[in-house]
Amino acid sequence: MTDRQLETRTIDVIRGLAMDMPQKANSGHPGTAMALAPLAYTLWTRIMRYDAAAPGWPNRDRFVLSNGHASVLQYTMLYLTGYGLTLGDLEDFRQWGSKTPGHPELHHTEGVEVTTGPLGQGVANAVGMALAEHWLRARFGPQLFDHHTFVFCGDGDLEEGVSHEAASLAGHLGLGKLVAVYDDNHISIDGPTELALSDDAPKRFEAYGWHVENVGEIGEDVDALEAAIRRAMDVDDRPSLVVLRSHIGYPSPKYTDTAHAHGNPLGVDEVTATKAILGTPDEPFWVPDDVLEHMRAAGARGREAREAWEKLHESWSEDREALDAALAGTGLSGWQDALPTWDAGDKVATRNAAKKVMNALLPVVPGLVGGGADLTGNTGTEIDGAEPFSLTNRAGRQLHYGVREHGMGAVMNGMAAHGGVLPFGGTFFVFSDYMRPAVRLAALSDLHVVYSWTHDSVGLGEDGPTHQPVEHLASLRAMPNLRVIRPADANETAIAWRVAVERGGPTALVLSRQNLPVLEGTAGNEGVGRGAYVLRPTDGDPDVVLIGTGSEVQLCLGAAEQLGADGVAARVVSMPSWELFAEQDDDYQVSVMGLDVPRVSVEAGSTFGWSLWADASVGFDHFGASAPGATVMERFGMTVANVIEHVRAVLAPR
C-alpha cells in the first residue's frame, strides 16, 4: 500500500467512525465529521505540533472545535493519535459515565482544550488562546512560547453574536497565529442556511481586519488543504479565515448536503451503503492495524520538539519565578503581603478599592492580565500608567475589550484555558447578563477567571432600572461552581481578590459604585475567605442575627446599635459569599449563624434564595427607579429603621 493509499484508507476510517458512533448511540451529528475528515486528517498528521503523550505541553498548538456538535470527529482523532481514548470509549459515545460526551468537555476528555457546543463560543475561546500566546511570547520570549491556534467553525458559529464580537477584537489586535477554518456547508438543522442567512462571511471578516482566503471545493484534496492552511499560518500580522466549501454527510448517497445528516444518525442501511462507496468493510468501529499505527506515529511526531522544550524550560533562569507563577496561575512567593488595607472610618467605593488591590497585585502576580468592556475606569480594571496590549505592544497587560461583554467573557475563557494567564474583566453588574453564556461555560469548565462587576445595586442611582441590578445576585448564586463575593468594604475587597487568585475556577467580585465606610474589624479578617463571619458579636447569646452583604452591612451595624440600646442583643454577620460559607463545616456555620436564633438578611436586591439562611429578609422583588442612589435606597426600604422593623416582627410573640 502506498502512502497515498494509506492516507485515503485512514480518512475512510475516520468517516466510518463518524457514522458508527451516532448510529450506536442513536443520537449525534455525523454529517460535519464525515465532511471534514480529510481536513482533520491533514491538520493532525501534517501540520499541528503536539505530542499525544503529553497533552498539557505548554508550547503545543491548540485546536478548538467550535462546532462542537461534531464531537465525533475530535474523539476519533484523539483516539487514533493516542491521547488515551479507546475504541470502547468511542463505542460508549453519549452514554452515562463515558469519556465521549455529546459535546467536547474540558477536563473530561484528555486532549480537549475547551468546552464547546454553544455555538460561537469556541471561536471566541480561540481568540483568547491566540491572545494569551502573543502575550506570553512577548513576556517570556519566543523560545518558550511560539505556537498556533487552530479552530474549526461552521455557519452556526458565525451567526452567533459572540463570534462577531470576538472576531472584531481579534482583527483589531492583529492576532496572527490564529487560523480559523470555516466549514461553509450551507446546512443548518432547519434546512439550507439560505432560510435565514445571506451574509458574505469572507467580506465580513475582511472588514474585521482578517486575512481571508476562499479555497472553495478542495475538501477531498489533502495537499490543497495543507497548502491553504500553511498560507494562513504564514500571515503574522492578522488572524486568518480559510473558507472551505464542504458537503455535509459526504459520501452518503441519500443524505449528502441534507439537514438530516446534520443532527441524526444515518441509519443502518445508509451506513452500509456509504461504507460500500468508501470500500471499507460493513463492520462497526473498524480500525485496521496499519491505520492505527500510522496515526499513532502522527501523535508522537511532536515528541522531539516537546522534549527539547522541556529541557529548555528546565534550564530557564531568566525571570524563572515569574514564569512558574504565571504557568501556575498564582503569585510570587509572599504575594499576599502586597494586599493593601484601609483604616476604619475611611470611605471608599469597593470598585475603587478593587482597582487599588489589582494594581498592587500586578507586580507580584505575573500572569494577571485584563481590563474592561469599555469601562476600565468604572469597574476597577484600569491599570495605572499602563500601555495597553495592542498590535505594537504585545506585552501590555491592559486589555480594552470595547463594548463587547459577551466576547470579553468568552475570550477570557480562552485565555484561562490556554494557561499562563490569569484574566480579569469588568463591566457593570447588570451587564453580566450579556456575559452569562460565557460565565456559565467558565463555571462548567472550572476556568480560573476573575470578574469585576460593579454598580452592584439600585444604589448606583440616576441611571435607573435599566442599569440597576436586582435579580442578578440570586440568579448568579444559582449557577454551580461560580464563586460570588460581594464585599462590605475596602478591606473585604482586598481579601476577596486574594481568594480569587488563590482559588481555582471563576470568581465574581460584586462591587459598589458609591462610597462605603470602612468597617471596624474587617482588615485582614480571615472570615471573608470563609464566606461569612461575626463582625459584631454580642456579650451573651444573641436574640437575633442580622446578616448583611455589601453596602447593607453598615445598615445591620446601625440597626444592631439601636436595638442594643433597647435591650435587644443583635449579632451582625457579614456574609460576602454564600458559596464559600457553604463549604464550611457545621461547627463553623453554627458559630457564625447561631442555633435556633431568628435571622434577618439585609440585601439591596431580590430576596429569592435567602430563606436558606434567614427567617426574614429586607430586600425588594421589583425593578429600580431613576433618582439619586441614596433616595432610591431609602424609598426601597434599605434603611436602619426598616431593618429594625423586620427584627421586631421576627421577635414578636406568635
In the prediction, which pLDDT does 522 show? 98
Pick from 309, 374, 227: which is nearest to 54 by CA?
309
Count the alpha carbons within 13 Å of 135 in the hemisphere toward its beta carbon. 30
- pLDDT by residue (tens digit) across 6-42? 999 999 999 999 999 999 999 999 999 999 999 999 9
Pick from 632, 629, 608: which is nearest to 619 by CA?
608
Give one DSSP letter per residue of 380-429, joined into a string. Answer: T-PPTTPPBP-SS-TT--EEE--S-HHHHHHHHHHHHHHSS-EEEEEEEG
Q: What is the pTM of this model?
A: 0.98
Phi and psi at 347, nearest 5°, equal -125, 120
- pLDDT by residue (tens digit) across 524-578? 999 999 999 999 999 999 999 999 999 999 999 999 999 999 999 999 999 999 9
| Residue 609: strand, helix, or coil | coil
Q: Are 219 and 38 in contact (CB under 8 A)?
A: yes
The per-residue pLDDT of the chain, averaged, comes to 98
Mean pLDDT of 504-516: 98
Number of H helices, E strands in the chain: 25, 20
- pLDDT by residue (tens digit) across 65-85? 999 999 999 999 999 999 999
In the prediction, which pLDDT does 653 show? 83
Q: In sequence order, which ranges of 446-577 are alpha helices (DSSP H)?
A: 472-477, 490-502, 553-565
Mean pLDDT of 322-335: 98
Measure the CA–CA gap between 433 and 447, rounded to whole angstroms: 19
Grid coordinates of 589: 456555620
Residue count of the chain: 654
Q: How far is CA 374 from CA 62, 108, 326, 402, 408, in A?
A: 29, 35, 26, 5, 10
- pLDDT by residue (tens digit) across 248-278? 999 999 999 999 999 999 999 999 999 999 9
| Residue 300 pLDDT exceeds 70 | yes
How many percent of the chain have pLDDT more than 70?
100
* Residue written as grid cell 499525544: 52
- pLDDT by residue (tens digit) across 186-215? 999 999 999 999 999 999 999 999 999 999
Q: Are 651 and 601 in contact (CB under 8 A)?
A: no
Reduced 3-state DSSP string for 421-432: CEEEEEEEHHHH
| Residue 654 pLDDT exceeds 80 | no
Measure the CA–CA gap between 41 and 152, rounded to whole angstroms: 13
Radius of gyration of the chain (CA): 28
Phi and psi at 344, nearest 5°, equal -55, 135
- pLDDT by residue (tens digit) across 168-185? 999 999 999 999 999 999
In the chain the domains, ranked by start, together with CATH numbers, are: 3-305 (3.40.50.970), 335-517 (3.40.50.970), 531-651 (3.40.50.920)
Which residues, at least 6 apart from 133, have a Cβ–Cβ distance to it below 8 Å?
62, 145, 147, 149, 177, 418
Q: What pLDDT band is residue 1 in, cutting at 50, 70 and 90?
A: confident
Please give the helix or strand (H or E) that residue 534 lies within, else none. Answer: strand 533-536
Mean pLDDT of 502-517: 98
| Residue 378 pLDDT exceeds 70 | yes
| Residue 94 pLDDT exceeds 90 | yes
Pick from 219, 199, 185, 259: which is nearest to 42 by CA?
219
Give one DSSP letter per residue of 324-371, joined into a string. Answer: HHHHHTS-STTGGGG-----TT-EEEHHHHHHHHHHHHTTTSTTEEEE
Instruction: Name the amino acid, one letter, at 391.
Output: L
Query: Could you list the active site residues?
Result: 405
Does residue 598 have a cis bond before it (omega within 30 degrees)? no
- pLDDT by residue (tens digit) across 567-582? 999 999 999 999 999 9
In the prediction, which pLDDT does 57 show? 98
Mean pLDDT of 405-410: 98
